[in-house]
Amino acid sequence: MNRDLFGGAIRMELPSNLIDASDIRQVPDTQEVFLYPDSGKSFILEVLQRVEHLSHEDAAQFHFDSLAHDNSATAHIVQDITHIPNDRGDDTPSHTVLSGRQQVTKFNRTIPDEIQIFMAVYRVEHKNVDLVLTMNIPVTSADAGAVGEGGIPAARQDFDVAARSLQILDFNLFV
């Protein structure tokens, strides 16, 4: 299902059953957050200041490391980084996809959750912005939100559709 984000400035195809997190909690103006109703999986689209790095891959690594820091991850590893060209002919920049894992201890628990992360970074250089799409997939978790290793392929398919379909319609979003 195509969803208009940030007031219609961005469009992206997401599963139709996702819940807009802003309907149930406060979400920063720089983010769009969507939750799966049947698991702990989520999508976050965030407008961030562009990081100064030589390559798209280094920028993806930077954002992944920053996320690990923000999550207070006890461990994190990058599994793969791939650059995906935009072949649609619109002005949306190509994106770099990073796959990785983080171990995150939540709610003062002693055993960390294992989180599969898929991240797409769109570098909007002329606006000094990195647009970052992140999908969080709890593989193991102390609560009921984990999908296990068997849930990763379907999650990856949802992520790939979202990342490839993301289209920036109004660059004035990035003032």
Q: What is the pLDDT of residues 87-105, one digit of tens each?
A: 999 999 999 999 999 999 8
- The structural domains of the chain, with segments of one domain joined by +, span 2-167
Assess whether pLDDT exceeds 80 at residue 147.
Answer: yes
Assess whether pLDDT exceeds 80 at residue 108.
Answer: no
| pLDDT tens column, 5-16 | 999 999 999 999
Is 0.75 topped by the overall pTM?
Answer: yes
DSSP 131-143: EEEEEEEEEE-SS
Percent of the chain with pLDDT over 90: 90
pLDDT score at 3: 97
| pLDDT tens column, 47-77 | 999 998 779 999 999 999 999 999 999 999 9
171 within 8 A of 127, measured Cβ to Cβ: yes
- Count H helices, E strands: the chain? 2, 10
* Closest to 171 measured CA to CA, from 120, 131, 118: 131
User: Beta partners for 167?
Assistant: 11
Say which CATH superfamily domain 2-167 falls into. Mog1/PsbP, alpha/beta/alpha sandwich (3.40.1000.10)
Averaged over 133-144, what is the pLDDT? 92
| pLDDT tens column, 10-51 | 999 999 999 999 999 999 999 999 999 999 999 999 999 999
